[in-house]
Amino acid sequence: MRLLVTAQFDEQGLTTLRRYGEVEYSGYGEQMRVLAGSKLVTALQGVNILVTEVDQVRKYTFPKVPDLRVISCCRSRPVNIDIEAATEHGIPVLTTPGRNADAVADLTVLFMLALLRHFGPLSGILREEGDPLEKLARVFVQYKGAELWEKTVGLVGLGAVGSAVAARLRPFGAHVVAYDPYMTAEQAGKVGVSLLGLDELLEQADIVSMHAGVTQETSGLMGAREFGLMKQGAYFVNTARSALTDEGALYRALRDGHLAGAALDVFDDEPPSPDNPLLTLDCVIATPHMGGSTAEVTIHQSRIATADLVRLFEGQKPLHCANPETLDGFQW
């Protein structure tokens, strides 16, 4: 059995995989490369298992790599893999849901605290020239902060990240509500969250935080109408996907003072242009889609991917498969 591992992977996972076959580790981070097209086809000759994170495995790849039997994709949603083509060729595509849930949840709560304490404008004040006493007066009068205590936080989406955010908010004494049409009240209750309709959540929340996946139903979910429903002076956080929101509508809601601030890790164009209107606003905290980028994510995805591959090696069904129909009667 030959395995090519191009995803970021830890040594413990590699050691486990070596018990089952010959492992070539060529992490894309170390190599600074993404395999696609003919380069991917060449790399996969004689390879039975590809463990990938960013390589582009398209329809035309599969007929040219006859030895490939399994793809393990270190992502929650394997957008870099042609799932339909993999299924046609009987190749299971394993996934690693929740691999970066803790990382994104940490950043989300950091964003909430930074907005409530006005980190953006306060940092700017320190860099300004001027009378120190006047600056102090502005800090204590104009930018008095707030606590998460007894704030209503509305989570749009209560999957792995949303649930992790809810758990982190509980010790702060926040009241957490969520909109998730795929979650039952009983399931939400287990993580201490009350379910509401979207409009009701927007009207009640002091902070609205996005944690939904992008589908036909959720694309553009937050537009001018929805931002208008939010409380005057509320805050908006998006560490999920920009496609969930109308950037222009968000900008106008912030510019016109309806919303007090926003913290964004995602943009329509990534990285955003320096002249993106949102970046001109002092009330916006922005990061370049790095919510899931921590050293620990490598460990998380390695353990999830390794555990499912071991299940497959041992004749068991893996827990996370994007095309489970390929597992029926699967043979090496």
The single-letter DSSP state of residue 321 is B
289 belongs to the catalytic site: yes
Give the H or E element holding residue 297: helix 295-313
33 belongs to the catalytic site: no
Which member of 241, 252, 255, 303 is catalytic? 241
**Contact, 240 vs 292, CB < 8 A?**
no
The single-letter DSSP state of residue 242 is G
270 belongs to the catalytic site: yes
Contacts of 7 (CB under 8 A, 6+ apart): 27, 28, 51, 52, 53, 54, 72, 74, 301, 305
In the structure encoding, which two tokens stand for residue 106, read together?
Answer: 């940490």
> In angstroms, how far is CA 124 from the centroid of its own chain?
29
CA distances from 291 to 10, 30, 76, 100 (A): 20, 20, 14, 8
| Among candidate residues 32, 31, 33, 25, the one with its CA nearest the CA of residue 9 | 25
φ, ψ of residue 91 to 5 degrees: the values are -105, 115
Sign of the alpha-carbon dihedral angle for 74, 312, 304, 32: negative
Q: How many helices (H) and strands (E) does the chain have?
A: 13, 12
Give 257-260's long-range contacts (Cβ < 8 A, gap of 24+). 258/227, 258/228, 258/230, 258/232, 259/227, 259/230, 259/233, 259/234, 259/235, 259/283, 260/115, 260/233, 260/234, 260/235
d(CA 229, CA 266): 22
Which member of 150, 217, 270, 296 is catalytic? 270
Question: Which of helix, strand or coil describes residue 208?
Answer: strand
In the structure encoding, which two tokens stand for residue 196, read together?
Answer: 């509401």
Which member of 89, 289, 303, 311 is catalytic? 289
Supply the residues annotated as catalytic: 241, 270, 289
